[in-house]
Amino acid sequence: MPTIPTIFDTSEPGRIAGVQTPKAGDLTGLPAEALRVSKPVLPEVSELQTVRHFTKLSQQNFSIDGNFYPLGSCTMKYNPRGAHRAASQPGFLSRHPLTPAFASQGLLKCFWDLQETLKTVTGMEEVSLVPMAGAQGELAGGLMIRAYHEDCGDFDRDEILVPTAAHGTNPATATMCGFKTREIKVAADGDVDIEDLKRLVGPKTAGIMLTNPSTCAVFERRILDIADIVHDAGGLLYYDGANLNAILGKVCPGDMGFDVLHLNLHKTFATPHGGGGPGAGPVAVNSLLQPYLPIPMVGKLNDEYIWLDENYFPLTIGKLSAFMGNAGILIRALAYALMLGREGMVRVAEFATLNANYLAAELSKAGFQLAYPTRRATHEFLITLNREARDLDVRALDFAKRLLDFDMHAPTTYFPLLVPECFLIEPTETETKAVLDEFVCAMSKIREEAQEDSDIVKQAPHNQVVRRLDEVRAARVLDLTWSAD
């Protein structure tokens, strides 16, 4: 596969696509120092060249639009086009963020409705939509926990507990918020080790960060005991909303005893995962943490929607973005929620877990080893390819690469680390039974190939736009910049 040249490499001076060139606006009245004197460096190409360039780039992509994408913990569900269409209306697209609230009532109503929807889904007191990614939502949550303890005059609580299998963002968030991380062991059945929790919890505990279903892809059965233990010690419970898809409309994090949480709208609410963004990670809190929420939020005064700023929330942790987070993503999430309705959300959770349990059962029947065979799958499940690695010298990574040749994206590999040679598989509710059956066939076929000639698997992929990548070089010497010089 030849490398696609950058669009600048095909540029020729003077070539122009006249029809597509935007007309220069009226610049009279702008001060001279605000006007640029040199021309920007832009590729000079025809319309057809541009179309071909970007079409070719899109063909390099391996995405949910073309392929099954069971990437565990990432909830790669289909992003309905209707939500995109709704958010692309001119009234949303062309609205300036400084438009006064009285002239933006429709937009503010959308934010209000989404806040109310997420309050119901999470069972929490109040929601702020502003965090612009799950990680920023976590940061907001950590800062609120900190602000709460400090307001209580409790300055010694500088430890956050996380299970060893937690998402990497959890300890990173704790560190960014000035906490130390203490790791709790995970028991052999995948639940948090309660005895280890009791040993670690104490007067230094600021809080605990958990996902439920957990990163071991099982439902944390003793969550109410955990909540009691942590609350009795004066700590707070943080819910990482990464795995909300499994319990959407079924169980509220608020009912499990959580005090604060973030949601990944790009997972549960089907907004685009993008190339790392834009994202949205709204936070929800109970009444203890309500005063500290990041601003702005939308309130309702009489029949009018208003911005709630620091005048309404003087103890706020502050702003996390210049305006209202990634507004366009929030609109998409609202559209998705409205398309589903309350009953639809319940069906999401039911089909997500049904698909995962069906796929787990079929893979197990085909001879693959479930990591927690005694537990029911949630919206995802873990298998370990330890036996295949030992007997056939073909590892999880090799299976993952070979799956690409079967036009399927690999599941999440090697996470959580405590299960060796693992796949974390999340089919999502948007796949048909036929697709799940094809996945089982592909996995069995790859194992057969490994038994006959393991090189086919170990050198995969064979029929993709690239062959196996040098991951060490990609991590150490990645260079994504282009310069005109």
| Residue closer to another protein, measured from CB, 265 or 424 | 424
Could you tell me which residues come within 8 angstroms of residue 202 by beta carbon, excluding any fewer than 6 positions away? 233
| Residue closer to another protein, measured from CB, 120 or 181 | 181
Q: How far is the CB of 457 from another protein (least distance, A)?
A: 17
Write the interaction track for another protein spanning residues 349-388; mark x where CB under 8 A is met and - where it is not. Answer: --------------------x-x------------x-x--
Which two three-digit tokens encode residue 387? 């036996």
Beta bridge partners of 269: none
| Residue closer to another protein, measured from CB, 171 or 241 | 171
| Residue closer to another protein, measured from CB, 104 or 169 | 169
Q: Which among 4-12, 56-64, 101-109, 467-475 is the span making contact with another protein, rule CB under 8 A?
A: 467-475
Q: How far is the CB of 475 from another protein (least distance, A)?
A: 4
Q: How far is the CB of 142 from another protein (least distance, A)?
A: 20
| Residue closer to another protein, measured from CB, 453 or 471 | 471
Write the interaction track for another protein spanning residues 136-175; mark x where CB under 8 A is met and - where it is not. Answer: --------------------------------x-------
Write the interaction track for another protein spanning residues 385-424; mark x where CB under 8 A is met and - where it is not. Answer: -x----------x---------------xxx-x-xx-x--
| Residue closer to another protein, measured from CB, 188 or 322 | 188
Give residue for tokens 């609580």.
157
Residues binding another protein: number (CB under 8 A): 18
| Residue closer to another protein, measured from CB, 127 or 200 | 200
Q: How far is the CB of 470 from another protein (least distance, A)?
A: 9
Q: How far is the CB of 221 from another protein (least distance, A)?
A: 19
Please pick, from the candidates 232, 303, 452, 471, the single residue that binds another protein as defined by CB under 8 A.
471
How far apart (Å, rounded) are the C-alpha atoms in residues 213 and 81? 29
Q: How far is the CB of 418 from another protein (least distance, A)?
A: 8
Please pick, from the candidates 472, 479, 481, 483, the single residue that binds another protein as defined by CB under 8 A.
472
| Residue closer to another protein, measured from CB, 26 or 471 | 471
476 in contact with another protein (CB under 8 A): yes
Q: Are 381 and 356 in contact (CB under 8 A)?
A: yes
Please pick, from the candidates 1, 32, 37, 188, the single residue that binds another protein as defined by CB under 8 A.
188
| Residue closer to another protein, measured from CB, 361 or 389 | 389
Q: Are 376 and 357 in contact (CB under 8 A)?
A: yes
Query: What is the SS3 assignment for the chain?
Result: CCCCCCHHHHCCCCCCCHHHCCCCCCCCCCCHHHCCCCCCCCCCCCHHHHHHHHHHHHHCCCCCCCCECCECCCCCCCCCHHHHHHHCCHHHHCCCCCCCHHHCHHHHHHHHHHHHHHHHHHCCCEEECCCCCHHHHHHHHHHHHHHHHHHCCCCCCCEEEEECCCCCHHHHHHHHCCCEEEEECECCCCCECHHHHHHHCCCCEEEEEECCCCCCCCCCCCHHHHHHHHHHCCCEEEEEHHHHHHCCCCCCHHHHCCCEEECCHHHHCCCCCCCCCCCCCCEEECCCCHHHCCECEEEEECCEEEEECCCCCCCCCCECCCCCCCHHHHHHHHHHHHHHHHHHHHHHHHHHHHHHHHHHHHHHHCCCEECCCCCCCCCCEEEECHHHHHHHCCCHHHHHHHHHHCCECCCEECCCCCCCCEEEECCCCCCCHHHHHHHHHHHHHHHHHHHHCHHHHHCCCCCCCCCCCCHHHHHHCCCCCCCCC
321 in contact with another protein (CB under 8 A): no
| Residue closer to another protein, measured from CB, 57 or 466 | 466
Q: How far is the CB of 27 from another protein (least distance, A)?
A: 49
Which two three-digit tokens encode residue 457? 């698997």
Q: How far is the CB of 179 from another protein (least distance, A)?
A: 15
Q: How far is the CB of 477 from another protein (least distance, A)?
A: 10
Q: How far is the CB of 190 from another protein (least distance, A)?
A: 11
| Residue closer to another protein, measured from CB, 79 or 384 | 384
How far apart (Å, rounded) are the C-alpha atoms in residues 118 and 121? 5
Q: How far is the CB of 485 from another protein (least distance, A)?
A: 28
479 in contact with another protein (CB under 8 A): no
Residue ranges that bind another protein, judged by CB under 8 A: 168, 188, 369, 371, 384, 386, 397, 413-415, 417, 419-420, 422, 471-472, 475-476
